[in-house]
């Protein structure tokens, strides 16, 4: 609080009273009615004094957020796509933006989960580097059940990937863990169906309809940026590319408009179905970087995601690309168009 030159136009008694009222309201958190009673005036008089204090620079209000958070871009992104929550963080230093996902996204997402998850929730975690980073950064979480939403990228590294992420989140929350010890992608639908019927995996699938908050990753259709892309043969990649795939999330493929393509791939995968994902109240996507920007936009158009943690590089693209036209995150439309 400081007295600017324009405030000198007020008399000394007015200045002292305005400063006292402003202190009560802005620093002590008292209501206008309480202040009015203390000073023996009407609450309308208090409102006028507070307004005058702002106009004449007696009171200065500053809104500060940590330097790594971009509040302006966050709010613009939330409004543009109808997201419940959008958090934009600083991008990596120049020259470091080739990583699949900046690690600081996981740290911020961990804090966001601490806000979103409430006691008794069922938290679902899909495979992804960003969700693994997020789980490693968790330090607070209300008591909740944690379930794995997809198989693992490589069964040989399960303990260091999705399974460990689920265990870590459950450990922090003190709740039950339901991991899936199976690859995400299988050779054929019959093998995938057989695995889904196994006791441990079937038990995890039973929780899918109970998930209240989910964390997912997004990949663009190129090597090293999409897990599914890297697991397929050259012929299969070419086939799905011919269908116009632009993005991948939890083994579901999307074109640039957010429509699902290559649905047959899901029959070979251990993953939460798209329709089940759409019914989860809160789906948080964690993805950033210029190389993923277009893919993030495609998935946001699908209506499957309600919240996003990203970085400035991706946000700048998303805020300048062609408008989604609607608010897909609010509408939760069916990406299959049915």
pLDDT at residue 64 in the model: 63
Instruction: Indicate whether 253 and 113 sit together in one domain.
Output: yes
Measure Cα distances from 142 to 12, 126, 138 in Å.
52, 19, 11
Beta bridge partners of 286: 217, 309
Instruction: Indicate whether 156 and 41 sit together in one domain.
Output: no
pLDDT at residue 321 in the model: 81
Instruction: Indicate whether 255 and 140 sit together in one domain.
Output: yes
Does 95 map to a domain? yes
pLDDT at residue 170 in the model: 95
Counting the structural domains of the chain, the total is 2
Does 184 map to a domain? yes
Beta bridge partners of 178: 147
Instruction: Indicate whether 128 and 179 sit together in one domain.
Output: yes
Does 272 map to a domain? yes
Does 284 map to a domain? yes
Cβ contacts of 60-64, under 8 Å, gap ≥ 24? 60/1, 60/2, 61/26
pTM value is: 0.78
Which CATH number belongs to the domain containing residue 42 in this structure? 1.10.10
Instruction: Indicate whether 49 and 152 sit together in one domain.
Output: no
pLDDT at residue 94 in the model: 54
Instruction: Indicate whether 165 and 298 sit together in one domain.
Output: yes
Instruction: Indicate whether 97 and 145 sit together in one domain.
Output: yes
CA distance 270 to 268: 7
Do the beta carbons of residue 290 and residue 220 sit within 8 Å? no
pLDDT at residue 282 in the model: 95
Instruction: Indicate whether 37 and 138 sit together in one domain.
Output: no
Which CATH number belongs to the domain containing residue 201 in this structure? 3.40.50.1360
Does 335 map to a domain? no
pLDDT means per 10 residues, the chain with 338 residues, are 47 79 89 91 92 84 68 90 90 57 82 92 91 90 95 59 89 94 90 92 93 94 82 89 92 92 90 92 93 93 93 92 71 66
Instruction: Indicate whether 52 and 75 sit together in one domain.
Output: no
Does 331 map to a domain? no
Does 1 map to a domain? no
Measure Cα distances from 231 to 55, 183, 184 in Å.
62, 10, 9
- Residue ranges making up the domain that contains 48: 12-56
Instruction: Indicate whether 88 and 129 sit together in one domain.
Output: yes
Does 255 map to a domain? yes
Instruction: Indicate whether 27 and 167 sit together in one domain.
Output: no
Instruction: Indicate whether 25 and 151 sit together in one domain.
Output: no
């Amino acid at each position: 609080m400081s007295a600017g030159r324009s405030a000198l136009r007020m008399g000394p008694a007015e200045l002292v009273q305005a400063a006292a009222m402003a202190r009560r309201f802005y620093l002590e958190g008292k209501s206008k009615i309480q202040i009015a009673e203390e000073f023996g005036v009407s609450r309308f008089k208090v409102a006028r004094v507070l307004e005058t204090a702002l106009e004449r620079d007696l009171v200065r209000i500053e809104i500060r957020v940590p330097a790594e958070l971009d509040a302006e871009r966050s709010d613009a992104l939330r409004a543009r796509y109808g997201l419940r929550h959008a958090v934009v963080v600083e991008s990596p230093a120049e020259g470091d933006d080739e990583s699949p996902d900046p690690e600081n996204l996981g740290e911020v997402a961990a804090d966001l989960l601490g806000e979103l998850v409430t006691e008794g929730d069922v938290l679902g975690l899909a495979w992804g580097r960003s969700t693994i980073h997020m789980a490693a950064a968790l330090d607070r979480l209300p008591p909740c059940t944690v379930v794995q939403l997809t198989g693992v990228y490589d069964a040989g590294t399960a303990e260091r990937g999705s399974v460990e992420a689920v265990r870590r989140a459950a450990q922090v929350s003190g709740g039950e863990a339901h991991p899936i010890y199976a690859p995400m992608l299988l050779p054929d639908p019959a093998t995938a169906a057989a695995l889904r019927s196994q006791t441990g995996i079937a038990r995890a699938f039973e929780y899918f309809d109970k998930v209240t908050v989910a964390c997912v990753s997004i990949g663009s259709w190129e090597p090293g940026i999409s897990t599914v892309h890297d697991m397929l043969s050259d012929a299969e990649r070419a086939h799905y590319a011919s269908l116009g795939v632009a993005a991948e999330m939890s083994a579901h493929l999307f074109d640039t408009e957010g429509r699902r393509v290559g649905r047959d791939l899901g029959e070979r995968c251990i993953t939460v179905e798209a329709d089940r994902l759409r019914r989860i109240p809160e789906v948080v996507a964690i993805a950033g970087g210029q190389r993923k920007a277009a893919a993030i936009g495609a998935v946001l158009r699908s209506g499957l995601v309600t919240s996003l943690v990203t970085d400035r590089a991706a946000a700048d693209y998303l805020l300048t690309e062609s408008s989604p036209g609607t608010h897909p995150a609010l509408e939760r439309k069916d990406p299959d168009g049915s």
